[in-house]
Amino acid sequence: MGMCGEGTVIEKGVKIFHPKNVFLQNDVYVGHDTILKGYHENSLIIEEGSWIGQQCFFHSAGGIHIGKHVGIGPGVKILTSSHALDELDKPIMLAKKLIMKSVTVYDGVDIGVNAVLLPGVTVGKGAQIGAGAVVTRDIPNYEIWAGVPAKKIGSRKK
């Protein structure tokens, strides 16, 4: 692995692909049957004290950076690539061009069970993402978002 920090726990059934591009800092927890899909380029970085629930799927073709003390519920998906849609003479999955965009999750965020973060989004510091939400755009610091697609439903600021 690129890094596996002190106190990090990787539960049974976790699969790590392209481990040289996966960096887990100190005291990270990775739950059972999670898939951390490093990629042959870019990195998957999870900073100290973050907690990843079981059966998550992180695909870091475009790069993923998760900050400190982030809680990620079971079944969360983080995607960083999509197929180009301009090759009309081919099925979409055979398109040669992939569009890669990084995902950044800042410190102190909480992401609910089965939420999905799509390529290119940034989740601001201390934000809350509701269970089952599909995040298609950036979320500002300390805001609460839920739904499909995710929309602002509140704020943690007073």
Query: Residue 26: what residue type?
Result: N
Query: What whole-number distance in Å separates Cα of residue 88 and Cα of residue 81?
Result: 19
Which residue has 């081919």 as its token pair? 90
**What residue ranges in 101-150 does DSSP mark as E strands?**
103-105, 110-111, 116-117, 122-123, 128-129, 134-135, 143-146
Q: Comparing C-alpha atoms, which of 103, 157, 158, 101 is closest to residue 127? A: 157
Q: List, in order, residues 6 or more apart from 57 with CB less than 8 Å away.
A: 34, 35, 37, 76, 77, 78
Which are the catalytic amino acids?
Answer: 83
For the chain, the residue count is 158
Token duo for residue 40: 């042959």
